[in-house]
Amino acid sequence: MQIEAGNEGALHKKIHPIKRIHCGYACARRCKKSSRKKVCMRACKTCCARCKCVPPGTYGNKEVCPCYARLKTHGNKPKCP
């Protein structure tokens, strides 16, 4: 079997790396307008660690990250800011 120049990668299956999210940065952006930043950051980081995503903006947009929107507290209220 001979490999032509430039086709070395043709024999290897391409594996796309999992997109990593920096939860601290994403949650700081999400919680920047919150009146209770520490509470918001703690909840957001927990949600980010579980879901591997944080919706864009400071409010709403939870349809972008369904896992984030589904998480609830023990009182059945939304867990994630």
69 contacts 78 by C-beta, under 8 angstroms:
yes
Residue pLDDT, tens place only, 29-54: 999 999 999 999 999 999 999 999 99
pTM (2 d.p.):
0.73
DSSP secondary structure letters along the chain: ----TT-GGGGSPP-PPPPP--HHHHHHHHHTT-SSHHHHHHHHHHHHHHHS---SSSS--GGG-HHHHH-B-TTSSB---
